[in-house]
Amino acid sequence: MTGNEAVAEAMRQVNPDVVAAYPITPQTEIVQIFSTFVADGLVKTEFVTVESEHSAMSATIGAAAAGARAMTATSSQGFALMWEMLYIAAGLRLPIVMPVVNRALSAPINIHCDHSDTMGARDSGWIQIFSENAQEAYDNVIQAVRIAESRDVLLPAMVCMDGFIVSHGMESVKLLKDEEVRGFIGGYEPAYSLLDVDHPITVGALDFADWYFEHKRQEAAAEVPVAEVVRRVGEEYGKLSGRSYGLFEAYRLDDAEVAVVALGSTAGTAKAVVDELRREGVRAGVLKIRLYRPFPGDEIVRVLSGVKAIAVLDRSDTFSTMGGPVFIDIKASMYAPIYDDSVYDDSVHGPVRGSTHDRDARDTGARDTTQRPVIVNYIYGLGGRDIDLEQIRKVYERLQAIATTGEAGQCVSYLGVRE
């Protein structure tokens, strides 16, 4: 089946109380298929065919605040139109799950894959999980329900998959049985509901300078346990399905000297190149990031610490002359531990609640400036431009040269573009 079909199946099995949706290529198919499930009585869902993506997210927020399990799905411009409401969903701590089919942003208008849309909201407070293929997209939607609704978390989560490459490409996908999914996600008991009329609550109050900061601080604290919850849910899902998930996939990285970091379908292409290179005796590996927000920087640095040269492949640009977003995140993570509690004075800054970062995190060799790997960035694949095995092979060849000389040369390059 296609990625869109797989995600629609996952949504059918999750059986949300409310889905609000507006069509946009290449996501349309998901809600289109889902609407037939509604029409055929296969789900209990109230399907709200809103007049825009802004209203799709608004209605989903309303439904979630009313205590319903609520979902929507989108892409690209529609995602951008939701932008204001994404922050509100996170700020209100509503565990909404949203599949996003990654697509380029205008202008120029383009319907094909890149990650510009979701990267634009990487700091909105949403959990972002990337999928390599249709199987992962399916698995991730089911896990996202558990992650978002975890009482330690209560944050909205988006499950990203590459437009057309995954959304419309055909693959064989293993589905769980309906009752297995039902058992895994469990029933949903919201802590608060607008429909609990005997216990009225005020949602979305006005904060002045005396409270806004504290509430945003609490939102930031809610991000800290996400990684642990993602790991736990991924393991539990593995027991159920035979497919375990972590924060990322470290492919042949143990003894790797050169590595490529990528999100989504490109990680699969890179893995194929690594298999070839390994046969040729090259110590190459791939780091596929699954949980992109919150960014598990400490863990990623730890797993990359033995690598001599790294290329981060970014399927979007920041237009900041600093390179792509993933590159900037990894470079920043390599500089110093993020939550180093030895330099963090609780009495001044307040505690980092739920922190899972231990003191060992700052002891990795990677934090030592003399031993930090050389890291370069490639922006690639914008607007659906293909990336092939040969291009990625060339990236590894450059990394081998960097590993030998220690000289990076140009830090940010554009791969596969006519300059």
Partner 1 sequence: MANLRELSRKDELLTGGHRACAGCGAPVAVRQVLKAVDTPVVVGCATGCLEVTTTIYPYSAWNVPFIHSAFENVAATVSGIEAAYRSLKRQGRIQRDIQFVAFGGDGGTYDIGFQALSGAMERGHDMVYICYDNQAYMNTGIQRSSATPRGAATTTSPAGRVATGGKSQYRKDLTAVMAAHDIPYVAQTTISHWNDLITKVRKAFAVEGPAFVNILAPCRLGWQIDSADSIEICRKAVDTCFWPLYEVENGVWKITVKPKEKKPITEWLRPQGRFRHLFKPGNEKIIEEIQADVDRRWEMLQKRCEVGGAGMMPRE
Summarize as ranges the residues that interact with partner 1 (CB under 8 A). 17-18, 20, 44-46, 48-52, 54-56, 58-68, 70, 84-85, 88, 92, 194-197, 200-208, 211
Whose tokens are 């994404």? That residue is 86
- Contact between 72 and 35 under an 8 Å Cβ cutoff? The reply is no
Which of 188/339 has CB closer to partner 1?
188
Q: How far is the CB of 66 from partner 1 (least distance, A)?
A: 4
**What are 195's two structure tokens?**
């429909």
Q: How far is the CB of 85 from partner 1 (least distance, A)?
A: 6
Which of 196/386 has CB closer to partner 1?
196
Which of 203/272 has CB closer to partner 1?
203
Residue type, 52: S
Q: How far is the CB of 361 from partner 1 (least distance, A)?
A: 36
Q: How far is the CB of 226 from partner 1 (least distance, A)?
A: 23
262-285: buried (b, 16+ CB within 10 Å) or exposed (e) per residue? bbbbbbbbbbebbeebeeeebbbb
Strand partners, 20: 48
Which of 195/348 has CB closer to partner 1?
195
Q: How far is the CB of 147 from partner 1 (least distance, A)?
A: 21
316-325: buried (b, 16+ CB within 10 Å) or exposed (e) per residue? bbbeeeebbb
Q: How far is the CB of 196 from partner 1 (least distance, A)?
A: 7
Strand partners, 259: 285, 310
DSSP letter, residue 359: G
Which of 52/404 has CB closer to partner 1?
52
Q: How far is the CB of 149 from partner 1 (least distance, A)?
A: 15
Which of 57/382 has CB closer to partner 1?
57
Longest CA–CA span in the chain (Å) reads 71
Which of 61/270 has CB closer to partner 1?
61
Strand partners, 395: none
Going 204 to 207 to 212 to 215, the CA torsion angle's sign is negative
Burial class (CB in 10 A: 0-12, 13-18, 19+), 209: exposed
Q: Which long-range contacts (CB under 8 A, 24 or more apart) does 192-198 make?
A: 192/65, 192/67, 193/65, 193/66, 193/67, 194/65, 194/66, 194/67, 195/66, 195/67, 196/67
Which of 208/319 has CB closer to partner 1?
208
d(CA 379, CA 141): 27
Q: How far is the CB of 243 from partner 1 (least distance, A)?
A: 31
Which of 209/348 has CB closer to partner 1?
209
Q: How far is the CB of 58 from partner 1 (least distance, A)?
A: 4
Q: How far apart are the first and last CA of the chain?
A: 37
- Contact between 321 and 304 under an 8 Å Cβ cutoff? The reply is no
Annotate 145-158 with DSSP letters as a single string. HHHHH-TTT---EE
Which of 15/356 has CB closer to partner 1?
15
Which of 207/360 has CB closer to partner 1?
207
Cα-Cα-Cα-Cα dihedral of 347, 348, 350, 354, to 10°? -80
Q: How far is the CB of 74 from partner 1 (least distance, A)?
A: 14
SS3 311: strand
d(CA 90, CA 403): 42
Q: How far is the CB of 49 from partner 1 (least distance, A)?
A: 7
DSSP letter, residue 365: G
